[in-house]
Structure formats: C-alpha cells, structure tokens
Amino acid sequence: MTLDETLDAVAAELAKARRVLVITGAGLSADSGLPTYRGLGGLYNGETAEGVPIEAALSGQMLRQRPALCWKYMRQIGDACRGAGPNPGHHALARLQDRFEHLSVLTQNVDGFHSQAGSRDVIEIHGNLSRLVCTHCPWQGAAKGVRDRVPHCPSCGQVVRPTVVLFGEMLPDAAVLRLHQALDAGFDAVISVGTTSVFPYIAGPVHAAFAAGHLTVEVNPGETQVSPIVRWRLRCGAAQALTGLAERLGVGAEVHRSD
C-alpha cells in the first residue's frame, strides 16, 4: 500500500474510536527542529566530548557529582527548544482531540509544545524544561533567561535543576498516577508517534491495546520495539502522518470565525 492508502485505512478505523491515547517521542519534536538524541539522526549516538555516554552525562548522579557537565548538556537541549515551537503535527493533534470523546497525550518530550499547541490532556512523563527547582529547598522559578554555567538558588545558594527526569531517576509520582488513571479508564485506539518505545511504560500501552484487539498504529520511519505488533505502520515523519490523519478526519485546518 502507498502512504496515502495506509493513511486512508488508518483514518477509517480511527473514525470509529471513542477514547484515543497518543504516545509521542522526540520524532515529533524533530519536525520543530529539535534533535532526536536516539534513532535516525540522533545527535548523541556515542560518547560526549568528555568521553562519557550521553545517558551518563544527563543522569541524576552526574548532576550531583559534576553539575557543570550535566548542565552543559541540559543547556544544549534547552537551547534547542528556545526559539522553536509547536509544528503542524502538534497542532493537528490538538485539533484531533475534539474529534473524539477523549484524547490523551502521553509524551516523553520535555519541550512543552503539546500544551502550547492547545492539547488539554497531556501527561509529561519526563517533566518539562521550562521550570527550575532547587535541589535543597522549596524554591521554584522559570528557566527562561537563566544563563549561568551552573545556576544556583537565589534563596539558599544550592544548585538548581529543570523539572525533568534525568537518567537513573524515578518518574514523577503525579505523572505516573495520571497515566495509571488514564489507562484504567481505557482506550480503544493507541497511536505511537516518533518514539523508539524502549521504556516499558511507553511500549506497555501499545502491547495492552494489541492484546485487547484494539487499534494500534505506529508512526516512525524506522524499526522500534513495537513495530512487530502494531496493526498499522506509517513509515513517515510525525507531522506528515498527524496532519494527514487530521485532514481525513475532517479537522485538517484551523477554523477562524469573525462575529
């Protein structure tokens, strides 16, 4: 089947769904110009300039032991996000939420683009770069404008950090609770977009939907952990797939009204 034919078939099945879960990864934000870090075109397929894997550089342990090194690579991610914004895929996904009884977004991305585009039910399972918290006291503040090599708390002087999950750290309790509540409510369609699905909590909902006989779709040009089990594969970019589905489901363009 051609891509257009596959999009037609997916849209026809998706039109029957009531509750939809869309799982997004770096492949979606790549269409905004952000790096994927893993997979096709990833920036850090190997070691950093300091000779350590990027997973070690962006770890909770590195933040404690060598905060300057950890902040160097956190800042690279932040700099990539700064000046970028939601792309047509994010906006298409926001429009699609009004096509169903309920649409939830489970994202690994920390750029905040889903909410900026208008998606209402967004579970940021890895946190958000836009806020900083102190590692020792209750201080919180905005990340915008912070340029120090290692930012320190204006209240107690200790190192601050973004509200993101670093490697080796636990997922935030509030986000995990929201995910469990969403999964308990049930979905009859699960769409995986731009993620390699290496984490169990990302691949798990796809496996559960497949086992239950529900619609499963993957949007990814490459092979992933869930590729063998999904009903439909869209081997294209995330924005291309989401805008194509939105058009076929009748929400393909912004509607502007003047009173």
For residue 237 the two structure tokens come to 């970019």
Q: What average pLDDT does range 39-47 have in this prediction?
A: 50
Across the range 57-62, mean pLDDT stands at 95
pLDDT score of 143: 85
Q: Rounded to whole angstroms, how far apart are CA atoms 119 and 105?
A: 8
Q: How does residue 245 score in pLDDT terms, banded at 50, 70 and 90? A: very high
Percent residues over pLDDT 90 in the chain: 78
For the segment 156-177, the average pLDDT, to the nearest whole number, is 96
Q: Which entry of 126, 180, 214, 256 is annotated as an active-site residue?
A: 126
Instruction: Report pLDDT for 257.
Output: 35
Locus of tokens 């932040």: 78
Closest listed residue to residue 207, CA positions, set 227, 229, 231: 229
Nearest to 93 by CA among 244, 257, 200, 255: 244
Locus of tokens 């290692």:
150
Average pLDDT over the chain reads 91
Q: Name the least confident of 29-38, 178-187, 191-200.
A: 29-38
Percent of the chain whose predicted confidence (pLDDT) is above 70: 93
The predicted-structure confidence for 15-26, as pLDDT tens digits, reads as follows: 999 999 999 999
Angle between helix axes 200-211 and 173-185 (nearest 10 degrees) is 10
User: Can you tell me which residue has the tokens 């492949």?
Assistant: 27
C-alpha span between 6 and 257 (Å, rounded): 33
Q: Is the pLDDT score of 42 beyond 60?
A: no
Number of residues that this document lists for the chain:
259
Confidence of residue 36 (pLDDT cuts 50, 70, 90): low
Do 113 and 90 form a contact (C-beta atoms < 8 A)?
yes
Higher pLDDT, 74 or 106: 106
Q: Could you name the CATH architecture of 3-33+86-126+169-248?
A: 3-Layer(aba) Sandwich (3.40)
- Whether 254 has a pLDDT exceeding 60, the answer reads no
214 is catalytic: no
Determine phi and psi for 136, rounding to 5 degrees: -130, -20
Question: What's the first-to-final CA gap in the chain, in angstroms?
Answer: 45
Where exactly are the structural domains of the chain?
3-33+86-126+169-248, 54-82+132-164
CA nearest neighbour of 89 among 235, 248, 238: 238
d(CA 236, CA 202): 20
Q: Which H or E run contains 94?
A: helix 88-96
